[in-house]
Structure 1
Amino acid sequence: MNTKTSQPTPGGEGCLVGALRIPVKIVALLVVLPVRVVWDLLVALGRLLYRHVIAPVLTHVVQPVLRALGWLVVTLVKLLFVWPWLGLWRYVLRPVGSWLYLHLLAPAGRLLYVYLLRPLALLTWRYVLVPTGRALIRLAEAAHRYLLLPLYRYVLTPLGKALAWAWHVAGIITGALWRALKWSGRVLIGWPATQVYRYVLTPAGHLVRAVWRPVRDTVRQVRAEVRRALFGTPPVEPARSRARTLGSTTAAGNTPAPEISLHERQG
């Protein structure tokens, strides 16, 4: 006997749901089960009827009847619509068309070509196209002889020669003007500028440099004296302190000097 107190599982059903489930199961058994049994019997009966009655009737009765009806309909359609038109084309229209082509259309075409189209083409070629072509050729020859050739000989050739001569003369004049401009620039601008630079600017620059150096040295000396008077002279670093230690990039003894006040330096 289990003495442990059973605890309700999380999400368990309540008393009302448990009480309603039993009548629902009873109703389902009394109503649904008979309906399901009747449905299964009807399905089995339907399968038996289809297998042993409907399928043989369809296979051995309905399909042959439908095939016979289809063959009858196709035969009637051929008898009413296909075979009459086929016979009409084969035994009436094609023979009549062949006879008409051989005995009417072909002779008429030959007569039309011999007595109308060929004479008309010959008349057109002889009295229209050939004279027109000859007239165009003569017109082109006359235009070339009396228009294009004189235009080329007496207008275009002299004009081209004149333009070539003018272009050559213009090149000569332009070259002379360019050389004159270069000479004028050299004489009026280059030579004076060179003389000014050589005899004016260069001595002036030398003079300014000669004056500026003592002034610069004096200014530097005065600034050094003022700095020395205000802050005193910095301590001289011994020579050994500039030596570097092995494997180090800093000088040996290169330590920052302690800050010295202005009063201690003056004392």
Structure 2
Amino acid sequence: MQMEKAQAASGGDGCLTGVVRVPVKIVAVLVVLPVRALWDLLVAGARAARRHVLAPLGRGVGWVLRQAWLYVLRPLSLVLFYWPWVGLWRYVVVPVGGAAYTYLLRPLGLGTVWLCVTLGRYVLVPVGSGIGWVLRHVVVLPSEWLYRELLTPVGHGLRWLVRGLCLLVFVWPWVGLWRYVLVPAGHGLAWAGRHVLVPAGNGLAWVGRYVLLPPLSLLYRYLLLPLGELLVGAWHIAGRILRALGRGLRRLWRGWVARPAAWVYRQVATPVGHAVREVWRTSRAAVREARAEVRRMLFGGPPGEPARSRARTLGSTTAADAAPAPEISPRKRRG
């Protein structure tokens, strides 16, 4: 029953699925299956080698390295890189440095200090005192006398002059203008504002509030506002009416004028125009041929084939007579 159900379920796949499935199974059995088996063998071998060979070998190598570090490398590194430098510092650098400091650097420093103190006491201080005395009696005292006896009176005079000029130019005119012009004018304006403008403003405000405002507010509320709303409503209604009228006129123009005119132009005027054009061309060609024949009969001329009409048929681009003209004239043909 299960095989029948599997066959019934797989019976709807089609022949193309069966044709593709068979080579895929063959490739899977011949190629994929050996590769997968070889991969599984390699994985199992690698796991066994890691478990039974590499892990014990790694533990042994680690033990050997630890023992070598503890009993060989560490003592050897101490002997080669630590103890020589410690001995050099302790038994060479420290004693030599201490002896150099005690017997060379400290006496040299004390001698340098004594030399600097002696030089400063017996050379630099007297020289500095002499330079100071010279500067005091040559520069400072004359400068003080010049400042006290000349520059100070001149400065006081210039200060008094500049102060007087500043007062004369920048202070007294503006003080006089403020005291004798602006202050009285301000007092007058304040009195006028207090006793004239304020009562007048209060009176105008009272008149505007109790006389003009109520009628104007009533006029605006009961006349202008309803009239404005009425005008706005009428404007919108007129706009709607005009839009509807415009649409109607456009439809009437399109239905009663534009389309009939286009139809008349297409169906009547165009064929009539074409017919008139062809008749005009034919008449003009006939007149031209008759005129040429009359001229030939009156004045003479070489006989020739009359010009063939190039009239076109209605609705076409070819001439009415498309046959080629004969190459031999009627006289040569009669001869």
- Cα 1:76/1:171, change in 2 over 3 Å: closer
Q: CA deviation at 1:133?
A: 3.8
Alignment of 1:180-199 (within 5 A): none
Find the residue that maps to 2:99 and give its secondary structure.
Answer: helix
Question: What is the TM-score normalised by the length of structure 2?
Answer: 0.42
Number of the residue aligned with 2:93 = 93
Separation of aligned partners in 1, 2:65 and 2:171: 112
| 1:35 equivalent in structure 2 | 35
Q: Which runs of 5+ in 2 are unaligned?
A: 1-7, 182-225, 228-335
Q: What is the CA–CA distance in structure 1 between the aligned matches of 2:171 and 2:67, rounded to whole Å? A: 113
Select between 85-94 and 159-168 the one with higher mean Cα deviation: 159-168
In structure 2, relative to structure 1, the CA distance for the partners of 1:47 and 1:163 (3 Å cut) is closer
Q: Which amino acid aligns with 1:62?
A: V
Structure 1 partner of 2:154:
155
Q: Provide the rounded CA distance (Å) in 1 between the counterparts of 2:171 and 2:107.
A: 86
Q: Distance in 1 between matches of 2:166 and 2:41?
A: 120
Percent of aligned pairs with the same residue? 38
Amino acid at match of 1:49: A
Change (3 A) 1:137 1:13: farther
Alpha-carbon distance in structure 2 between the residues aligned to 1:80 and 1:127: 63
Deviation at 1:168, TM superposition (A): 5.0
Partners of 2:127 and 2:13 in 1: CA distance: 116
Q: What is residue 126 of structure 2 aligned with on the other side?
A: 127
CA gap 1:74/1:14 in 2 versus in 1, 3 angstroms: farther
2:239 maps to what in 1?
none
Q: Distance between the aligned counterparts of 2:108 and 2:172, measured in 1? A: 86
Q: Which has the larger share of helix? A: 2
Q: Which moved more, 1:86-95 or 1:30-39?
A: 30-39
What are the within-5 Å matches in structure 2 for residues 1-267 of structure 1? 15-59=15-59, 61-71=60-70, 72-114=72-114, 116-138=115-137, 139-144=139-144, 146-167=145-166
Q: 2:142 & 2:111 partners in 1: Cα distance?
A: 44
Partner SS, residue 24 of structure 2? helix
Q: How many aligned residue pairs are there? A: 169
What is aligned with 2:264?
none
CA distance 1:30–1:149, change in 2 (3 Å): same
Higher relative contact order (CA 8 A, sep 6+): 2
The aligned residue for residue 216 of structure 2 is none
In the alignment, the residues of structure 1 paired with residue 107 and residue 62 of structure 2 have an alpha-carbon distance, to the nearest angstrom, of 60
What is the CA deviation profile of residues 173-192 of structure 1, one whole-angstrom value per residue up to 9, with x for unaligned ones? 968xx8xxx9xxxxxxxxxx
In structure 1, stretches of 5+ residues that fail to align are 1-5, 183-248, 251-267
Two-structure CA RMSD over aligned residues (Å): 3.7
Structure-2 change in CA distance of 1:65 and 1:170 (3 Å): closer
Deviation at 1:94, TM superposition (A): 0.8
